Amino acid sequence: MSETLADMKIGQQATIVEFNIDTIPLKLLEMGCLPGNRVELLQIAPLGDPLYFTINDSHVAIRIETARQIEVTF
């Protein structure tokens, strides 16, 4: 089983590997959520959703269901 954004711990960095482009909102793609880009988990909301990341110097909140669709490598 591959690792996803949802599997990351606070402060951990990873590289986006792949995802199904049909399941990812266009806004995330525009903000740099693309294969090969580095991502760091900054915070997790109190109830566990959403997750707050830095991607290409942009701060992005991503819902847990979307984060599970984005594969990463550590």
Residues 9-28: tens digit of each pLDDT: 999 999 999 998 888 899 99
Share of the chain above pLDDT 70, in %: 99
DSSP letter at 62? E
Q: What is the pLDDT of residue 14?
A: 97
Q: How confident is the model at residue 67 (pLDDT cuts 50, 70, 90)?
A: very high
Q: How confident is the model at residue 1 (pLDDT cuts 50, 70, 90)?
A: low
CA distances to 10, 21, 46, 47, 56 from 14, in Å: 11, 19, 22, 23, 12
Rounded Cα distance between 1 and 29, Å, is 24
Domain 5-66 classification at class level: mainly beta
Q: pTM to 2 decimals? A: 0.90
